[in-house]
Amino acid sequence: MSRLFADFPEAQNEITRDLAELGISVHTETMQDKNIANDPQFATKELTNYTYTVLKPSYTEIEGVHEDWVNQEWQDRLVGDLNPGRAWQMRKEVWSQFLEMPFRKFSYSYSQRMGGKHIIKLVDELRRHPNSRQLWLPVWHLQDEDRRGNRRVPCSLGYWFVQREGALHLTYMMRSCDFYTHYGNDVALATMLLHFIAKNVELKVGTFTHFVGSLHVYAKDVAHVF
């Protein structure tokens, strides 16, 4: 059963409190493809299998969003099949470390995995089969992920859409989410996707449900969160 929140400000306030009060301590060996086993900055406070639903999701109400990056990343995803795209240049301090040389590309991009033609296909499927339970937009592709520990793999698993009673609802599935660095941006982009598809199929925007296998904050960021 999901926790129910009226809007994102309420959700973020309660999620922060849950992390502070209920999060357990763990120290993983890697962060993306970086070895952090002996780095105290990456001691982690974590909630596992965390799920909540926002009844009125508006991406303009989400805190902690890097607006320039999100807007460009959204455009990269709409175009599709871009790697590295343009958005990363607006947050070089975060993303440049993950560029793979000598080609200066990432091991994957969301523009490649779920952007462009993949979004269009989902819109078309929703128009043809409005009551379908199969409206899944995947990010995690098993044939591409047999490289754990060597290259980066997506934090997002995929997006499940369902139309019921004239509204389009989204469930956003993630295996992992860094609450300080990425949460606001990831959720803003997912919510933008929900609004975009709802508009294109002339449906009301419904609920936003978020499942995260590991929702966490690192020791280096705790002072910014709690």
Would you call the peptide bond into 40 cis, given omega within 30 degrees of 0 as the criterion? no
C-alpha dist (Å) from residue 158 to 5, 26, 37, 149: 22, 26, 28, 21
**Residue 23 carries which DSSP code?**
P
The residue-averaged pLDDT of 5-32 equals: 97
The residue-averaged pLDDT of 45-50 equals: 98
**In the chain, pLDDT over 90 holds for what percent of residues?**
91
- DSSP H/E element including 68: helix 67-79
**Which range scores top for mean pLDDT: 100-109, 136-145, 211-220?**
211-220
Size (the chain), residues: 226
pLDDT digits (tens, 9 = 90+) for 143-201: 777 655 567 899 999 999 999 999 999 999 999 999 999 999 999 999 999 999 999 99
Distance of CA 139 to the CA centre of its chain: 10
Distance of CA 188 to the CA centre of its chain: 8
- The radius of gyration of the chain from alpha carbons, rounded to an integer in Å, stands at 17
pTM given for the model: 0.96
Mean pLDDT of the chain: 96
The residue-averaged pLDDT of 127-146 equals: 91
pLDDT digits (tens, 9 = 90+) for 63-110: 999 999 999 999 999 999 999 999 999 999 999 999 999 989 999 999
The two three-digit tokens of residue 83, written as one number: 């790697």
In the predicted model, is pLDDT for residue 8 greater than 80?
A: yes
The residue-averaged pLDDT of 34-38 equals: 94
Domains and CATH numbers, the chain: 3-66+109-225 (3.30.572.10)
Q: Which are the contacts of 60, defined by CB distance < 8 A and separation ≥ 6?
A: none
